[in-house]
Structure 1
Amino acid sequence: MVQDPQVMLLHQHQQPARAPELLHQHQPERARELLHQHQPERAPELLHQHQPAHAPALLNQHQPVRAPALLNQHQPVRAPALLHQHQPVHAPALLNQHQPVRAPTLLHQPARTPGLLDLPEWHCQAPQQQAQILHQLMTMPSGVAVITAARGRGKSALAGMLAQQNQHCLVTAPAKVSTDVLAAFAGEHFHFMAPDAILAADSVPSAQWLIIDEAAAIPAPLLQQLVQRFPRVLMITTVQGYEGTGRGFMLRFCATLPHVQHFQLDEPLRWSANDPLEQWLSRALLFEDAAESELQGEVTIFPATPEQGVLEAGYHLLASAHYRTSPIDLRRMLDAPGMRFWLAGNRENIAGALWLVEEGGLDKSLAEAVWAGLRRPRGNLVAQSLAAHAGYAEAATLRSQRISRIAVLAVQRQCGIGSALVAAAHQQADGCDFLSVSFGYTESLWQFWQRCGFTLVRIGSQREASSGCYAAMAIRALTSAGEKLQQHAAQRFARDALWLRDIIDLPFETADHPQTLNEDDWPLLAGFAWAQRPYEASYAVLQRLVRASPQPLLKAILVQKHSLNEVAQQASLSGRKAVVQRLRQETAEALIQCDIRRAEQWRQHFASLQ
Structure 2
Amino acid sequence: MLADTRASFHRRLLVLAGDARWGRALAAQGLGGAGLKETVWICADAPVGADALGPEQAQQLLGRDLDTVVFDLHGGCNADALGAVAGTIRGGGLLLLLTPPLDSLWQFADPEHGRIAVAPHGPEAVTGRFLQRLARTIKYSPGVVIVSPREEAEDGLNISGLDYQGTARGKVAAVEPPYGSDDQRQAVAAVMKVASGHRRRPLVLMSDRGRGKSAALGIAAAQLLLEGKQQIIVTAPQLGSVDTLFEHARALLPDAMVSRGSIHSGAGVIEFVAPDDLVAEPREACLVMVDEAAAIPAPMLEALLDQNARIVFATTVHGYEGTGRGFAVRFNKVLTAKTPDWRSLWMQQPIRWAENDPLERFIFDALLLNAAAVEDEKVAAATPEQCQVERLDRDYLEASEPLLAELFGLLVLAHYRTRPFDLRVLLDGPNIDLYVMRFNEHVVGAALVAREGGFDGETAAAIYENRRRPQGNLLPQTLSAHLGLEQAAGLRYGRLMRIAIHPAVQQRGLGSALLAQVERDLGPTVDCFGASFGATGELLHFWRRAGFEPVRLGISREHTSGAHSVMMLKGVSDAGRELFDSARHRFLATLPHLLAEPFRQLDAGLVAALLVTRGYEPPPLEAQEWADLVAFGFGSRGYEMVSPALWRLTVAALADPASREMLGQDQRDALVVKVLQRCNWLESAARLNLSGRSAVMALLRNATRSLLVFYGEDWVMSEAERFTRDEEA
TM-score normalised according to structure 1 size: 0.65
Read off the aligned partner of 2:351 and give its amino acid letter. Answer: L
Q: Which residue, 8, 21, 24 being the options, matches 1:29?
A: 21
Inter-partner Cα distance in structure 2 for 1:457 and 1:397: 18
Match of 2:535 in 1: 441
* Displacement after TM superposition at 1:479 (Å): 1.4
Count of equivalent residues: 466
Is 1:274 the counterpart of 2:356 in the alignment?
A: yes
Equivalent residue number for residue 399 of structure 1: 492
In the aligned structure 1, how far is the partner of 2:553 from the partner of 2:216? 39
Matched, 1:137 2:191: yes
Q: Is the counterpart of residue 41 in structure 1 residue 36 in structure 2?
A: no
In structure 2, do the counterparts of structure 1 residues 473 and 181 end up closer, same or farther at CA, with 3 Å as the change threshold? farther
Q: Which amino acid aligns with 1:462?
A: S
Equivalents in 2 of 1:361, 1:406: separation in Å? 23
Q: 1:495 maps to which residue? A: 589
Letter in 2 for 1:425: V
Deviation at 1:489, TM superposition (A): 0.4
Per the alignment, do residues 326 and 58 of structure 1 end up closer, same or farther by CA in structure 2, a change over 3 Å counting?
same
The 5-angstrom pairing of residues 207-356 of structure 1 reads: 207-216=285-294, 222-240=300-318, 241-245=322-326, 247-249=328-330, 251-256=332-337, 257-288=339-370, 289-294=372-377, 295=379, 296=381, 298-307=386-395, 308=397, 309=400, 310-346=403-439, 348-356=441-449
Question: Is this contact kept in 2: 1:458–1:474, CA < 8 A?
Answer: yes
Partner residue, 2:217:
159
Partner of 1:565: none
**Cα 1:104–1:384, aligned 2, differ >3 Å: closer, same or farther?**
closer
Q: Deviations over 1:133-186 (max 9, x none)?
A: 224423532441110223332223323444566573334445667556556656
Q: Structure 1 residues 105 and 223, CA, compared in 2 at 3 Å: closer, same or farther? A: closer
Q: Matched residues in 1 for 2:574 and 2:519: separation?
A: 15
Counting aligned pairs with the same residue, the percent is: 30
Q: Any conservation in 2 of the 1:401–1:432 contact (CA below 8 Å)? A: yes
Aligned alpha-carbon RMSD (Å): 4.5
Tell me the secondary structure at the aligned position of residue 261 of structure 2: helix
* In 1: Cα distance, 2:349 partner to 2:159 partner: 33
Contact 1:145/1:261 (CA < 8 Å) preserved in 2?
yes
Question: Is 1:170 aligned with 2:233?
Answer: yes
TM-superposed CA distance for 1:394, in Å, is 3.0
Post-superposition Cα deviations, 1:298-331, rounded to whole Å, max 9, x if no partner, equal 2111111333222431221011111111010001
Indicate the residue corresponding to 1:52 in structure 2.
none
> Deviation per CA, 1:114-138, whole angstroms, max 9, x where unpaired?
9xx999999x943133234224423
For residue 486 of structure 1, what is the aligned residue in structure 2? 580
Do 1:174 and 1:467's aligned partners in 2 also have CA atoms closer than 8 Å? Answer: no
Q: SS of 1:159's equivalent?
A: helix
Instruction: Give the SS at the match of 1:60.
Output: strand
Deviation of the 1:469 alpha carbon = 1.6
Partner SS state of residue 332, structure 1? helix
CA, structure 1 residues 220+401, in 2 after alignment: closer, same or farther (shift >3 Å)? same
1:327–1:192 distance in 2 versus 1, CA, 3 Å: farther
Task: Map Cα deviations across residues 504-540 of structure 1 (whole Å, 9 max, x no partner).
Answer: 124343867989xxxxxxxxxxxxxxxxxxxxxxxxx
- Contact 2:453/2:492 (8 A) holds in 1: yes
Counterpart in 2 of 1:475? 569
Q: Decide whether the 8 Å contact of 2:529 with 2:570 is kept in 1.
A: yes
- Report matched runs for 1:502-521 at 5 Å: 502-503=596-597, 504=599, 505=602, 506=604, 507-508=607-608, 509=611
Give me the whole-angstrom Cα distance separating, in 1, the residues matched to 2:156 and 2:21. Answer: 23
Structure 1 residues 358 and 262: alpha-carbon distance in aligned structure 2, compared to 1, 3 A threshold: same
Q: Compared with structure 1, are the counterparts of its residues 28 and 417 closer, same or farther at alpha carbon in structure 2 (3 Å cutoff)?
A: same
Where does residue 149 of structure 1 map in the other structure? Answer: 207
- How far does the alpha carbon of each residue in 1:406-451 deviate from its partner, in whole angstroms, 9 at most, with x for none? 1111221111110111111111114221111011111111010000
Cα distance in 2 between the residues matched to 1:58 and 1:28 = 16
Q: Structure 2: which amino acid aligns with 1:223?
A: L
- Unpaired segments ≥5 residues, structure 1: 1-23, 46-55, 74-85, 516-558, 563-610
AA at the equivalent of 1:328: F
Could you report, residue by residue, the CA deviation over 1:220-276 in whole angstroms, capped at 9, with x for unpaired residues? 554332112123211112344533515424752333323323222111124421234
Q: How far apart are 1:59 and its partner, in Å?
A: 2.2
User: Structure 1 residues 474, 108: closer, same or farther in 2, change over 3 A?
Assistant: closer
CA distance in 2, matches of 1:249, 1:500: 31
Aligned partner letter, 2:428: D
Q: How does 1:80-159 map to 2 (within 5 A)?
A: 112=160, 125-128=178-181, 129-139=183-193, 140-141=195-196, 142-143=199-200, 144-159=202-217
User: Structure 1 pair 312/192, CA: closer, same or farther in 2 (3 Å)?
Assistant: same
Kept in 2, the 8 Å contact 1:367–1:396? The answer is yes
- Contact 1:242/1:327 (<8 A) preserved: no
Aligned to 2:710: none
Q: Please name the residue that 1:570 is paired with.
A: none
- State the distance in 2 between where 1:27 and 1:97 align: 9
Q: What is the CA-CA distance between 1:27 and the residue it aligns to?
A: 3.0
| Aligned match of 1:59 | 70
CA separation of 1:476/1:311 partners in 2, compared to 1, >3 Å: closer, same or farther?
farther
SS of residue matched to 1:483:
helix
Distance 1:356 1:196, change over 3 A: farther
Shift of 1:369: 4.2
Is the CA contact (8 Å cut-off) linking 1:371 and 1:392 kept in structure 2? yes
Displacement of 1:60: 2.9
2:70 is paired with a residue whose SS is helix
**Which residue identity does 2:291 align to in structure 1?**
D
Q: Secondary structure at the match of 2:519?
A: helix
- Amino acid paired to 1:134: V
Gap change, CA 1:104 and 1:476, over 3 Å in 2: closer
Is the partner of 1:228 in helix, strand or coil? helix
Normalised by the length of structure 2, the TM-score is 0.55
In the TM superposition, what is the alpha-carbon distance from 1:372 to its structure 2 partner? 4.1
CA distance in 1: counterparts of 2:417 and 2:535, whole angstroms:
16
What secondary structure sits across from 1:392 in the alignment?
A: coil
Amino acid at match of 2:184: Q
Q: Which whole-Å deviations, capped at 9, do the CAs of 1:385-413 have from their partners, x for residues lacking one?
A: 22333222433332212111111112211
8 Å Cα contact 1:301/1:342 also seen in 2: yes
Distance of aligned partners of 1:34 and 1:110 in 2 relative to their CA distance in 1, 3 Å threshold: closer
Alpha-carbon spacing, 1:94–1:394, altered in 2? closer, same or farther (3 Å): closer
2:513 aligned residue (407, 410, 420):
420
Distance (whole Å) between structure 2 residues aligned to residue 109 and residue 341 of structure 1: 44
- Seen in structure 2, the aligned counterparts of structure 1 residues 161 and 332 have a Cα distance that, compared at 3 Å, is farther
Q: 1:434 to 1:157 in 2, by over 3 A?
A: farther
Q: Aligned equivalents of 2:148 and 2:142: distance in 1? A: 10
Find the aligned partners of 2:301 and 2:487 in 1 and give their Cα distance: 39
